[in-house]
Amino acid sequence: MVEHARKALIAGNWKMNLDHLQAIALVQKLAWTLKDRNFQSTTVEVAVFPPFTDLRSVQTLIAADKLDIGLGAQDLSRHDSGAHTGEVSGAFLSALACDYVLVGHSERRADHGETDEVCLAKVQAALRHKLTPVLCVGETAEDLEKVGAAAVPVSQLTTVLEGISADDEIVVAYEPVWAIGSGTPATAEQAEEVCSTLRDTIRNVHGDEAAERTRILYGGSVKSSNIAGLMRGANVDGALVGGASLDAEEFAAIAQFEKHVTVD
């Protein structure tokens, strides 16, 4: 088993799936499954990122049953309040005891034209409200062909790092766009290579301490059958899981990657 320098984070991005009743059912099942499997949260943290309309229900469940499950939102406004119809303030997420918020997921970059500058403003908004932003970066298949794997994620990350301070706590999620929902993840070597380059980027902009402290996740077709291999990378500190996070058994099995026999 690889000794991880940072506490692993296994994060479930539910995307636009499950209403608040279905959310309660899934989180209850996840909690039972983790308990049944004797999951230990000392080295691995589990968090879920439900749609906005589910957050209050999931928060109530987590608080009432004292579940060891983190909570995050999938987006936030760059503004704090005011005339921004349809937007959700980081202040409201903070009031719902959210720990995390995704910023710049490739689906938001593609569907809503979110630029690196918008992502920076959202990261700053999250930090203002004491939320840990999970900044998503990653290259498309076209980028991969033209400039290789690391260039685009490095540039996306650099824009954000240059607008925050070394003490600010963020999580980075490397999600190659071509791997998302495709059933074909990056290989463990590809994931480690880009995550290592992203850590070097943090080191260059904010120094050693920030580079060693910051968790860098991999996302894109993560399943229980491939997580152990991905987690063997010294610079891969966890996973941002989409489809597989909607199945309690499968997500719990991913969270227990430390127990998997790692075969390549």
Catalytic option among 114, 175, 192, 250: 175
Query: Measured from the CB of residue 220, what is the shortest distance to ligand 13P in angstroms?
Result: 5
Least distance CB 165 / ligand 13P (angstroms): 26
Examine the residue annotation and report whether 175 is marked as an active-site residue of this protein: yes
Active-site annotation holds for 114: no
CB of 207 to ligand 13P, least distance (A): 28
Residue 76: exposed, middle, or buried by beta-carbon count in 10 A (0-12, 13-18, 19+)? buried
Q: How far is CA 225 from CA 49, 125, 230, in A?
A: 22, 36, 10
- Distance of closest approach, residue 106 Cβ to ligand 13P, in angstroms: 7
Q: Which helix (H) or strand (E) holds 175?
A: none
Closer CB to ligand 13P, 148 or 181, in the complex: 181
Residue with tokens 């690889």: 2
CB-based closest residue to ligand 13P = 242
Position 84, amino acid: H
Compute the distance between CA of residue 118 and CA of residue 230 in angstroms, rounded to an integer. 30
Query: What would you report as the CA-atom Rg of the chain, rounded to the nearest whole angstrom?
Result: 17
Which residue number, 168 or 175, has a Cβ lying nearer to ligand 13P?
A: 175
Binding footprint of ligand 13P on the chain (CB under 6 A): 13, 105, 175, 180-181, 219-222, 240-244
* Cα 193 from chain centroid (whole Å): 18
Residues 45, 105, 107, 139: which is the catalytic one? 105
Residues designated as active site: 105, 175
